Amino acid sequence: MTRRRVVITGMGLLSPIGNGLEAVLAALRAGRSGVRAMPSWADWKDLHTRVGATVEGLDEKAIPRESRRSMGRVAMLAASAAEQALAHARVDREMLRSGRAGLSIGQTVGSPAATELFFNVLRSEGVRSLKSTTFLQLMSHSAAANLALMFKVTGRVFAPSAACASSSQAIGQGFEAIRDGYQDLMLCGGAEELHVSTAATFDILGGTSRAFNESPSCTPRPFERRRDGLVVGEGGAVLVLEEREAALRRNATIHAEVLGYSTLCDAEHMSAPAREGMARTMATCLESAGLRASDVDYVNAHATGTLLGDSVEAQATLDVMGGAIPVSSTKGFTGHTLAACGAIEAIFSVLMMREGFIAPTLNLEEVDPACQGLRHVLELESRPVRTVLSNNFAFGGVNTSLLLGLPS
């Protein structure tokens, strides 16, 4: 079977550091954090973290009312990002109905706010008071299903739900569907909705940042000696992937190419990372593209600011990539946007390639001895970047790596 080349022709996102490509690009250049104080979280007993990374300025009414009725915030974030990406790619909407276009949109869970409302109404008022659309907002494939209906997509529809790896798996699924000839175009990405329940989930595991509640922009601190945990965030990001020759025929602007992809499981522990599994995923991603570590110009790390996760990832990255390639984690800017992070970070990587710079790991002042050996980026570097390895590692040992390159 002839494997077709897959390119990125459109990107859209809403993130804690801005909505749209230009706003995000400016924030990356300026080193501007999107982490904010969350004073309302003080109302929840025994919740220690008080910082989060929120999306500001989501225009819900820009989404058609008939589509919006069955969407929670998570699906609306995905829908808004998809509209941006389609406009950026200048895609004929009829193409989406052709059967040769599909989508893959990941999310961790359904809308937490809709879930909370569902059970509150059920408990206090009974079944007859529930809205018929509520389940459509809280189901775990809500974003994918709603976008398929909104855009009348009749091709393949995937809805990966693997927490931190969801949207990178979504991009990988779209890449494989086009590469192997099953689709010509795929909308790929993911979304996450910030809710106190997410903060509580990580808080009870001892994984959230709490030492910097009074100085939100000073956390998270990936790879840093004083890191004390992750900051939960939200966002939505969607990329338009196309078969290269089809994109050229319609004179689309090609922003980058998906060169390789791997997703593999540790099968060792539900929440603890495994060095060998991470390393194996990076290595097989390079193999899938026929490239060596020395061909990579930059590694966009998953690193979230947790004590164990960052050190294990640093060691695995060193095992495969060596210590000469620049490495940074952009979660210092956005916090951990969970199901959205893979797509957000893929877009960040494309922007950095396109503009010729590498954003630093924010708040990395003193590298932890357990994370040393890598070439950590401590301040913005202006330099050519042609190939990026972007990594995401999730609970359950679900690991993903994407290899992106400038168009050739």
Domain at 349, CATH number? 3.40.47.10
Same domain, 107 and 183: yes
Q: Is pLDDT of 1 > 70? A: no
Least confident of 15-19, 155-159, 270-274: 270-274
Mean pLDDT of 229-250: 98
302 belongs to the catalytic site: yes
Pair of tokens at residue 7 = 């390119």
Q: Give the pLDDT mean for 105-122.
A: 93
Lowest mean pLDDT among 113-127, 171-185, 266-280, 343-357: 113-127
pLDDT band at 284 (very low <50, low <70, confident <90, very high): very high
- 1 assigned to some structural domain: no
Domain that holds residue 192: 6-249
Dump pLDDT digits (tens) for 299-343: 999 999 999 999 999 999 999 999 999 999 999 999 999 999 999
Q: pTM, whole model, 2 decimals?
A: 0.97
Marked catalytic residue, from 141, 164, 188, 371: 164
Instruction: Find the mean pLDDT for residues 370-380.
Output: 98
- Average pLDDT rounded to a whole number, residues 60-89: 97
**Domain presence at residue 264:** yes
Choosing from 88, 141, 195, 302, the catalytic residue is 302
Of 88, 141, 195, 336, catalytic: 336
Of the chain, the percentage scoring pLDDT greater than 70 comes to: 100
Together in a domain, 186 and 302: no
- Active-site annotation holds for 188: no
> φ and ψ at 149, to 5 degrees?
-70, -40
Query: For residue 5, is pLDDT > 90?
Result: yes
CA distance 76 to 235: 10
254 within domain boundaries: no
pLDDT at position 179 is 98
Is 289 in the same domain as 235? no
Identify the burial level of 270 via C-beta atoms within 10 angstroms of its C-beta, where 0-12 means exposed, 13-18 middle and 19 or more buried: exposed
The total of structural domains in the chain comes to 2
Domain boundary among 195, 230, 249: 249
Please report the pLDDT score of residue 82 as a whole number: 98
CA distance 296 to 73: 36
- Claim to verify: residue 140 and residue 266 sit in the same structural domain: no
For 40, phi then psi, to 5°, come to: -65, -20
Residue 255 lies in a domain: no
